[in-house]
């Protein structure tokens, strides 16, 4: 199989092209196709060698299968994320985390008003 094409399909395309092009122009078309295929192959090989020269030996260390976007199934990613164990990121001991009780708020929340002497806080990373 050649990139999704079977031999039968390639032969069928060749026969149809020969009929449409005609016997007079077929040698010129075949010559053009061969010349174009050679130029394309030379271009791809040149591009590949330039990339290898610029990337150096690091290019051989890349696992291209891991970078293939077709392997990422959103359903699998979400399923794995939901099934992952949530581990506490704090350095508190496990006993303190499991026995901590939230203290209920006794005072109501009041919106703070800011003045020109006391402006609201500025988060330079958020803007």
Question: Taking the chain, what is the end-to-end CA distance rounded to the nearest angstrom?
Answer: 53
The per-residue pLDDT for 116 is 85
Residues 38-59 pLDDT 10s: 999 999 999 988 888 887 777 6
Spell out the residues 6+ positions from residue 21 whose beta carbon is closer than 8 angstroms to its own.
Answer: 29
The per-residue pLDDT for 39 is 97
User: What are the beta bridge partners of residue 5?
Assistant: 2
Q: Is the pLDDT of residue 1 over 50?
A: no
Residues 61-112 pLDDT 10s: 777 788 777 778 888 888 888 887 665 555 545 444 445 566 666 777 777 8
105/126 Cα distance (integer angstroms): 29
28 or 76, greater pLDDT: 28
């Amino acid at each position: 199989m050649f990139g999704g094409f079977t031999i039968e399909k390639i032969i069928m395309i060749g026969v149809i092209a020969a009929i449409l092009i005609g016997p007079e122009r077929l040698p010129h078309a075949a010559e053009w196709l061969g010349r174009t295929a050679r130029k394309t192959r030379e271009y791809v090989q040149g591009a590949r060698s330039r990339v290898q020269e610029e990337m150096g030996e690091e290019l051989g260390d890349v696992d291209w299968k891991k970078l293939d976007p077709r392997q990422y199934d959103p359903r699998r990613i979400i399923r794995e994320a939901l099934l992952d164990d949530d581990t506490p990121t704090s350095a508190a001991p496990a006993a303190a985390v499991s026995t901590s009780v939230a203290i209920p708020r006794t005072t109501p929340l009041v919106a703070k008003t800011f003045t020109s002497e006391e402006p609201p806080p500025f988060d330079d990373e958020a803007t």
